[in-house]
Structure 1
Amino acid sequence: MQFATRLDNVETSAIRELFKLLGKPGIISFAGGFPDSAMFDVEGLKEASAKALAEEPGGALQYGATEGYEPLRAQLSAFMKGKGVEVAPDGLIVTTGSQQALDLLGKTLISPGDKVIVEGPTFLATIQCFRLYGAQLISAPIDAEGVQVDRLEQLIVEHKPKFVYLIPTFGNPSGAMLSLERRKKVLELAVKHDTVIVEDDPYGDLYFGKAPPPSILSLTKEVPGSRERVVHCGSLSKVLSPGLRIGWMIAPPELLAKATMCKQFSDAHTSTFAQATAAQYLKSGRMPDTLAHVRKVYAERAAAMGAALKRELGDAISFTQPGGGLFFWARLTGAKGKLADANVLAQRAIEKGVAFVPGAPFFAEKPDLATLRLSFATANVEKIEEGIARLGAAL
Structure 2
Amino acid sequence: MTLRFASRLDNVETSAIRELFKLLGKPGIISFAGGFPDAAMFDVEGVREAANAALTEEPGAALQYGATEGYQPFREQIVGLMAAKGVQSLAPEQLIVTTGSQQALDLLGKTMISPGDKVIVEGPTFLATIQCFRLYGAEVISAPTDENGVIPEALEQLIAEHQPKLVYLIPTFGNPSGVLLNLERRRQILDMAVRHHTLVVEDDPYGDLYFDVPPPPSMLALSDSVPGSRDYLAHCGSMSKVLSPGLRLGWLIAPAELLSRCVMCKQFSDAHTSTFSQATAAQYLKAGRMPATLDRVRTTYAARSKAMGDGLRSQLGDAVRFVQPAGGMFIWVQLTGARGQETDGNALAKRAIEQGVAFVPGTPFFAQNPDTSTLRLSFATADIARIEEGIARLAKAL
TM category, shorter: over 0.9
Q: Deviations over 1:162-208 (max 9, x none)?
A: 01000000000000100000000000100111111000000000000
Aligned equivalents of 1:208, 1:142: Cα separation in 2: 23
4+ long deviations beyond 2 Å: none
82, 85, 94: which is aligned to 2:84? 82
* Unaligned segments of structure 1, at least 5 residues: none
Among 20, 34, 39, the alignment partner of 2:41 is: 39
Q: Number of aligned pairs?
A: 395
- Is 1:231 aligned to 2:234, yes or no? yes
Which residue of structure 2 aligns with residue 282 of structure 1?
285
Matches within 5 A, 1:1-395: 1-86=3-88, 87-395=90-398
- After TM superposition, give the deviation of residue 222 of structure 1 in Å: 1.2
- The residue type paired with residue 341 of structure 2 is K
Aligned Cα root-mean-square deviation (Å): 0.4
- CA offsets per residue over residues 64-91 of structure 1, 9 Å max, x none? 0000001000110111110111210111
Residue 23 of structure 2: SS of its match in structure 1? coil
Distance 2:81 2:210 in 1: 17
Q: Secondary structure at the match of 2:133?
A: helix
Q: Which stretches in structure 2 are left out of the alignment for 5+ residues?
A: none
Query: Match of 1:28, as an amino acid?
Result: I
Structure 2: how far apart are the matches of 1:143 and 1:326? 18
Distance 2:233 2:180 in 1: 18
Whichever residue aligns with residue 381 of structure 1, its letter is I
State how far apart, in whole Å, the 2-side matches of 1:177 and 1:3 are.
Answer: 40
CA distance in 2, matches of 1:193, 1:252: 16
Q: Distance in 1 between matches of 2:351 and 2:149?
A: 31
Report the 3-state secondary structure (helix = DSSP H, G, I; strand = E; otherwise coil) of the residue aligned with 1:20. helix
Deviation of residue 144 (structure 1)?
1.2
1:224-256 deviation digits (Å, cap 9, x = unpaired): 110111000000000000000000000011111
1: CA distance between counterparts of 2:276 and 2:63? 6
What residue identity is the alignment partner of 2:105? L
One-letter amino acid of the structure 2 residue matched with residue 19 of structure 1: F
Structure 2: how far apart are the matches of 1:75 and 1:269?
A: 18
Structure 1: which amino acid aligns with 2:85? K
Alpha-carbon deviation of 1:124?
Answer: 0.2
Alpha-carbon deviations, 1:320-354, whole Å to 9, x = none? Answer: 00000000001000000100000000000000000
Per-residue CA deviation, residues 249-270 of structure 1 (Å, 9 max, x unaligned), is 0001111100000000000000
Over the matched positions of the two proteins, sequence identity in percent amounts to 72
Distance apart, 1:391 and its partner CA: 0.0
CA distance in 2, matches of 1:120, 1:342: 16
Q: Secondary structure at the match of 1:302?
A: helix
1:8 CA drift (Å): 0.1
In structure 1, C-alpha distance between the alignment counterparts of 2:268 and 2:230, rounded to whole Å: 28
Q: Give, in whole Å, the separation in 1 of the partners of 2:77 and 2:186.
A: 26
